[in-house]
Structure 1
């Protein structure tokens, strides 16, 4: 199994399609926002033509009103992987949601929830603030407390809930690097100035493609009530424009800034995983650079066809949303 990871706008989707074509594979989406139906422009979801006949799984499966659940995602993704492997197909994960990638590849547990405990802890949080609950977490699970900001009340509540529910430290359920499947993880590494420029261009093209109208249409489907979808990059900013809080230009500029910040967090997440093999890639260098990226990725999988195997590739400078 192959996972193509890295920051947004780095070119992961194109690389995944190319690898699938060459390795008799199918793509499994690991972008949490591409799980939502109708969120196409703002997530840079590949069109059917751009998928080039490669089957893509776990796209457009949730309504925008559904809260994202990595546990539910894992429940859906694992049988897909097993089915592809049984049929001799190569599963290729593609997307930048780090926990979703790990939910497929690694031995991760996702404890359930207890509504009564959660409600009680959330009431306490509202009454006394996060400091009191954080002190309790430090005494019960100092390892988990070191990984959670003292101001992050939502995460503190979840950690205490899991401790009450399972009788085990919350840290025992935190991500590890214990693989379930043999895999190769390929990180697409784009120079920071180039990535920043690509993000700005991507946002501009999203606006030109009709992101604002897409959000208007999704409002009729309950986007504003969706706890996860309404916070997605681009969508959250357009919602503030449509509510009159921001001008359209403010919404667009903030989308660029927020996406750049998000890309840095993505890189930090994936760089903590020592198994990721990073392949430098400058998308501005044209199709020859993309072909070289494909060749190097194939070499890492142990199924390299030699120089030039990536020659017949789409031009990464094409006008679609990068």
Structure 2
């Protein structure tokens, strides 16, 4: 059996600096980056998703950014196949791949090698699921699998329906066979609650100043549906509500959105902390040096 290639994962909460760390590590080791973010796959979703700019990449190749248009569906199974193709291509070029992002299901699908199967047609089940809203579907998903999903995934009705069809036919993600494709080193980033909340607040206002409200308005003007934007959650949902007049001011928007992002960060911590194989970096110290040493040992080992 051929030796598995090595994959470095950089995961963690929102606003913790994952993208920057991924770039610095890729520069040091001559690597390339595959994004693991369920919203950054969409074209035009830049400020609201924290997508790295061309300048911020520092010349490091990035994959799975801007691969689908707004309103299009993009499943975790599709992400897995696209990520495998990108990672295998990086390895074939003799470079180390870095999977960087905070969408937990995307990360695990690749790192743990989830097996996805096509759900068999079941008109009766589909009709029953179609009659429920996203909140009810997500509650049913959690009841059946014990898993949590990202903010955007839990509000995407059609994706939830497709996932539940798989679960009901015995294709549960928690029980499906897993076939890890790579040897994996997982590096985790987060900050103490108070520090992380401050970073979230500062980043939110910076993005507002940079034009995040205008980004959402332009997406709507160019054909992105309100249902699509609301399904993305967080920045896109709350700014949509602001544009619809549900918030009286930018201050109220930022207060409500900031609260939602902080709650999302707590859920991310809970998701990632369940994985005992993650090496959590000391963000109060020289975490870049710590990460560099860990990657060096991993790649040489």
Instruction: Write the distance in 2 (CA, Å) between the matches of 1:281 and 1:190.
Output: 6
Q: CA deviation at 1:61?
A: 1.1
Q: CA deviation at 1:216?
A: 0.7
Q: CA deviation at 1:39?
A: 1.0
- Consecutive unaligned residues of structure 1, counting only runs of 5 or more, are 138-142, 283-288, 305-322
Q: CA deviation at 1:192?
A: 1.2
- Consecutive unaligned residues of structure 2, counting only runs of 5 or more, are 1-6, 149-153
Q: CA deviation at 1:119?
A: 3.0
TM-score (norm 2): 0.83
Matched, 1:299 2:293: yes
User: Deviations along 1:24-74, whole A, 9 cap, x unmatched?
Assistant: 100100111111111111112111111101001111111111133111111
Which of 226, 250, 253 does residue 252 from structure 2 map onto? Answer: 250
Matched, 1:58 2:64: yes
TM-score (norm 1): 0.78
Q: CA deviation at 1:258?
A: 0.7
Q: CA deviation at 1:303?
A: 4.4
2:31 maps to what in 1? 25
SS of the aligned residue for 1:183 comes to strand
User: Deviations along 1:160-215, whole A, 9 cap, x unmatched?
Assistant: 62255x4x363655696x63210110001311111000000010001100111111
Which of 69, 79, 82 does residue 73 from structure 1 map onto? Answer: 79
2:129 maps to what in 1? 122
Question: 8 Å contact 2:185–2:295 — kept in the other structure?
Answer: yes
Instruction: Write the distance in 1 (CA, Å) between the matches of 2:181 and 2:196.
Output: 32
Matches within 5 A, 1:8-23: 8-23=14-29
Instruction: Write the distance in 2 (CA, Å) between the matches of 1:118 and 1:206.
Output: 42
User: Deviations along 1:85-123, whole A, 9 cap, x unmatched?
Assistant: 111111101110011111221221223344735532225
Provide the aligned length of Structure 1 versus Structure 2.
281
Matched, 1:45 2:51: yes
1:236 maps to what in 2? 237
Instruction: Write the distance in 2 (CA, Å) between the matches of 1:208 and 1:52.
Output: 24
Judge which range, 193-202 or 115-124, deviates more.
115-124
SS of the aligned residue for 1:184 comes to strand
Matched, 1:161 2:165: yes
Find the structure with the greater CA-based Rg: 1
Matches within 5 A, 1:150-299: 161-162=165-166, 166=169, 168=170, 170=172, 173=175, 179-225=180-226, 227=228, 230-247=231-248, 248-282=250-284, 289=285, 292-299=286-293
Cα-Cα RMSD: 3.1
Question: 8 Å contact 2:145–2:172 — kept in the other structure?
Answer: no
Q: CA deviation at 1:12?
A: 0.5
Question: 8 Å contact 1:233–1:259 — kept in the other structure?
Answer: yes
